Amino acid sequence: MAELKRLLANLTLRQKLSLVVAAAVVTGSLWALVGWSRERDFRPLYTGLAAEDAGAVVARLRERGTPYRLSEGGAAVLVPSALVAEARLDLAASGLPRTGRIGFELFDQNRFGATDFAEKVNFHRALEGELERSVLTLAEVERARVHITPPKESVFLESRRPAKASVLIKLRAGARLEPGHVQAICHLVASAVEGLEPEAVSVLDVRGNLLNRPRPPEDPESGRPSAALLEFRQSLERDLLAKIHSTLEPLLGADGFRASVSLECDFTSGEQSEEILDPTRSVMTNSQRSEDTGGYPAASGVPGTASNLPRPTARPGTAARGYSRKTENITYQSSRTLRRLRIPQGTVKRMSVALVIDHAVRWEGQGAGARRIVEPPPEEKLKTIRELVASAIGLNAERGDQLTVESLPFEAAPRWQPEEEPAAPSAPG
């Protein structure tokens, strides 16, 4: 100890300051190293949390006295690695995280004195929260918000309002929703809300893009086909075009032809009834026959006062008269055939198909003197292609269908360059 004091006394002021600074630097470095090691030990407990869930999780960790850190703008909660499993079990027992807004657990506690209006508002809040949780189960969705407008009932038709809903979603990085997924979200929300139609659900992302196209109300009196009928015609055209491609691509290649299909559909609908009577084929349906027979005595006696006395004089009477009546009624009915035909919408009236075949290109010569030669396909090949396409799409000439097959050279600059021949291998020296 005395030697240390003697050593310090022999140091100059500059040496003492240098020694103090070095000690401070070493102490700070050790402290930073300990802190960094401690921070490095923190592991994610939950990531991608909503603000409501992150607040509830942090409050619970504070109650337990568990150290935590926040990252990703408060969307991720980190705890020491040794406490991750224990913290998750404790939070799961408390029902955390709830994945979005509160759901039907809002009614777990009895609230005495709540008005009917408050109960309706809480029910809609709980329903919106449950729908948000359902939408969040999609792998592409990171956040979701659901807003529901309940229907307005009234005894007056002009005062009634249908139910509506809107869904705001935030997609994960690099993810996108297919049109089928958007339609599924619309049906999911509409099925959970009474009186809500899928067409009344709007789905948009956080950038303001409307993901589902609202269909205008159909007007039967306008005479124009609806959007659903136009989509049906386009789907038929796509199916026919796919058949043409699957038939010709193995023969000509994907770039060796171009095809287009146009359909003329009949969007009118109705019912047709037809009744046919055949007089040559009749049958007896009813037969009635009646016969009446009987008699009645003839009038007798002497007219005058003598016949009206208490003891009239007997007179010989005449014989009684008889009668007979016969009636026969037969009903015949002709054979009848009754047909009822329902005319569907979207029947194909006419089909037009255009097919362009590319010319074959070959080169004569080599190097700069090579000459490009364009050769059209032979007529036999065009005829075979016509027959194959007509069979694939079900061409009906009696209906007025048309199939046009032409051969024209395509504008393709890379194909105009001559192919370089591989260099001949050199002989070993």
Number of structural domains the chain divides into: 3
CATH no. for residue 52?
A: 3.30.70.1530
136 and 248 share a domain? no
pLDDT of residue 272: 79
236 and 93 share a domain? no
Task: Compute, in degrees rounded to 10, the torsion defined by CA atoms 236, 241, 242, 245.
Answer: 170
Q: Residue 214: how many CA atoms within 13 Å on its side-chain side?
A: 13
Distance CA 1, CA 96 (A): 60
Under 8 Å CB-to-CB from 202, ≥6 apart: which residues?
Answer: 164, 165, 166, 167, 210, 212, 214
Q: The tokens of 417 are what?
A: 């360059």
Find, among 334, 331, 329, 327, the residue nearest to 286 by Cα: 331
Q: Are 361 and 313 in contact (CB under 8 A)?
A: no
Structural domain contains residue 7 = no
Amino acid sitting at position 147? H
Structural domain contains residue 275 = no
CATH no. for residue 358?
A: 3.30.300
pLDDT of residue 238: 92
pLDDT of residue 413: 45
45 and 83 share a domain? yes
204 and 248 share a domain? no
Q: The tokens of 395 are what?
A: 């061409």
Parent domain of 357: 232-267+345-407
256 and 358 share a domain? yes
Structural domain contains residue 174 = yes
Residues found in the chain: 429
Distance CA 185, CA 102 (A): 20
pLDDT in tens, 399-416: 899 999 999 888 764 455
139 and 169 share a domain? yes
262 and 161 share a domain? no
CA distances from residue 207 to 48, 144, 203, 204, 226 in whole angstroms, order as listed: 19, 13, 12, 8, 30
Under 8 Å CB-to-CB from 24, ≥6 apart: which residues?
Answer: none
50 and 81 share a domain? yes
Structural domain contains residue 307 = no
pLDDT in tens, 351-362: 999 999 998 888
Question: Coil, strand or helix: which one is 229?
Answer: helix
pLDDT of residue 429: 44
260 and 349 share a domain? yes
Structural domain contains residue 326 = no
Q: Where are the alpha helices (DSSP H) in 175-326?
A: 179-192, 227-252
Distance CA 217, CA 199 (A): 10
121 and 93 share a domain? no
pLDDT < 70 stretches in the chain: 1, 4-5, 8-9, 11, 32-40, 95, 98-109, 111, 214-225, 294-309, 311-323, 412-429
Both ends of the chain: CA-CA distance in Å? 87
257 and 156 share a domain? no
pLDDT in tens, 368-377: 777 878 888 8
Q: What angle do CA 403, 352, 179 make, to 5 degrees?
A: 125
pLDDT of residue 351: 93
pLDDT in tens, 77-91: 888 888 888 888 887
Structural domain contains residue 336 = no
Sheet strands (E) in 15-140: 42-46, 69-71, 76-80
CATH no. for residue 172?
A: 3.30.300.30
Structural domain contains residue 122 = yes
For the whole model, what pTM was predicted?
Answer: 0.45
Structural domain contains residue 27 = no
pLDDT in tens, 5-24: 677 667 677 777 777 788 88
pLDDT of residue 66: 85
126 and 92 share a domain? no
